Chains A and B, each alone.
Chain A
Amino acid sequence: SYVVTQPPSVSVAPGKTATISCGGNSIGSKSVHWYQQKPGQAPVVIIYYNTDRPSGIPERFSGSNSGSTATLTISRVEAGDEADYYCQVWDSSSDHRVFGGGTKLTVL
């Protein structure tokens, strides 16, 4: 079945830009969705269909997807952005919803 790979952790200083990758075979041909999960809370979708932002999500959050890597970019990182981030695709060959392993973002 389809596998998506994320780095376990990313660290960034406040005010800087964080990038979180999500790798998979020809993932550029799929729609990638990103979820943010803070400790003790349910996940929240922050980017859907590669680049779209739900209402209420700051413009600092953006996404891209091409080739074998999708990327979540967080600009002007704030302490409140510290969370786990998960990418997710739909694998039509197996009819499975597939999550990446998650990336813990630490704000230094």
Chain B
Amino acid sequence: EVQLVESGGDLVQPGGSLRLSCAASGFTFGTYAMSWVRQAPGKGLEWVSGVSSSGASTHYADSVKGRFTISRDNSKNMVFVQMNSLRADDTAVYYCAKSSGGSEAPPIDYWGQGTLVTVSS
């Protein structure tokens, strides 16, 4: 059974930093691309970032480029996102999501349950 378990969500002040983690199990982790998708309270889904199966290719939404960094550790079946210079509009539930292929182009076939990030003073 595929499982994606996010952790690291917290209340952080504007300008602060946070690192989210996602522990994956139930599939050959190093074969699939992974993404982070967020959802602000009462709003729609917003793709944040993605990383290819090898980790060699990463992509970012314009709203987070230069502030967020995605990475993965295929030896530990983990994917991370380092979030710096956080702003109030980064407040959201952050989902870890598995691509159905080795790149980010294929659809997401599994989602975690999400971790809440709140940016507020």
Q: Which residues of A contact B (CB under 8 A)?
A: 1, 31, 33, 35, 37, 42-45, 48-49, 54, 84, 86, 88, 90, 92, 95-102
B105 touches A90 (CB 8 A): yes
Q: Which residues of A contact B113 (CB under 8 A)?
A: 42
Pull 12 A–B residue pairs with CB atoms less than 8 Å apart, ordered by A. A43-B95, A45-B107, A88-B107, A90-B105, A95-B104, A96-B47, A96-B59, A97-B35, A97-B50, A98-B47, A99-B44, A99-B47
Nearest CB in chain A: distance from B100 CB, A: 7
Instruction: With A42-B111, A99-B44, A102-B44 given, name 6 new contacts (CB 8 A).
Output: A33-B107, A42-B95, A43-B95, A48-B107, A86-B44, A95-B104
B residues lining the A interface (CB < 8 Å): 35, 37, 44-47, 50, 59, 61-62, 95, 100, 104-109, 111-114
Instruction: Choose among A1, A92, A99 the residue that contacts B45 (Cβ–Cβ < 8 A).
Output: A99
- A interface, by DSSP: helix, strand, loop or mixed? strand
Which residue on A lies nearest to B60, using beta carbons? A96
Do A43 and B111 form a contact, CB below 8 Å, given A97-B47, A97-B50, A98-B47? yes
Give the nearest-CB partner of B4 in chain A. A42
B111's closest neighbor in chain A, by CB? A42
Nearest A residue to B59 via CB reads: A95
- Chain A residues within an 8 Å CB radius of B111: 42-44
Chain A residues with CB below 8 A from B107, complex form:
31, 33, 45, 48-49, 88
When the two chains form their complex, are residues A48 and B45 in contact, meaning their CB atoms are under 8 A apart? Answer: no
